[in-house]
Amino acid sequence: MNSNSTSSSSWADSDPSLGEVLLQASVIQSKIRELGKIISRDYAGRSLLLVGVLKGALLFVADLARAIDLPVEFDFMAVSSYGVTTKTSGVVRIVKDLDMDLTDKDVLIVEEIVDSGLTLSYLVRNLQARNARSVQVCALLVKEGMQPSGLDIAYTGFVIPPVFVVGYGLDLAEKYRNLPYVAVHIE
């Protein structure tokens, strides 16, 4: 593993499945502050509902909410298209639905990573059908060249190569979510 990972976990330093660190914790936090300023400007004078996509976006939602200088509400959905593998199954299931009514709300879906775009496309259509005033997307990571055309992501943190990554909420079989950085997972 890359020695400049600034890991606070000795277990991660010796894990042979962790490869190159793509995004240091400080770089991630700087980008989140930048996104928060842009979102605050774009939604000025309105309240905003952040819809976090569990479990992966939990850390990103928390940090992003603190970077937004507006009143925000939170709700969460859990969806699945992966299971415990590194490849999407192609089928999206809602595991936990929202608790709030979206009627006339400005909704920002907060996603940790956009890979195939299948899950995100499904979520956007699903939430638009619930009478929200607006539905936009904020993704921390977007995999280069993987999304179908027509997928609109209003706020993007980083474009990364099409590799499997873990850390900062991203997992493999529930492991690695607590790393403060994003690293390549070596199969």
φ/ψ region of 177 (left if φ > 0, alpha if ψ in -120 to 50, else beta) reads alpha
User: Global pTM?
Assistant: 0.88
Please report which confidence band the pLDDT of residue 14 belongs to, taking 50, 70 and 90 as the band edges: confident
- Which domains can be identified in the chain, with CATH numbers? 24-176 (3.40.50.2020)
What is the percent of the chain where pLDDT is above 70?
Answer: 87
Tokens of 33: 């502050």
Helices (H), the chain: 10-13, 25-42, 58-67, 118-128
Among 60, 77, 147, 72, which Cα is nearest to 112's? 60
Helix (H, G, I), strand (E, B) or coil at 66: helix
Output the pLDDT for position 101. Answer: 95
Residues 19-65 pLDDT 10s: 999 999 999 999 999 999 999 999 999 989 999 999 999 999 999 99
Among 97, 1, 121, 105, which Cα is nearest to 50's? 105
Please provide the average confidence, as pLDDT, over all residues in the chain.
88
Give the active site residue among 15, 63, 106, 115: 115
Does the active-site annotation cover 106? no
Tokens of 102: 């979206």
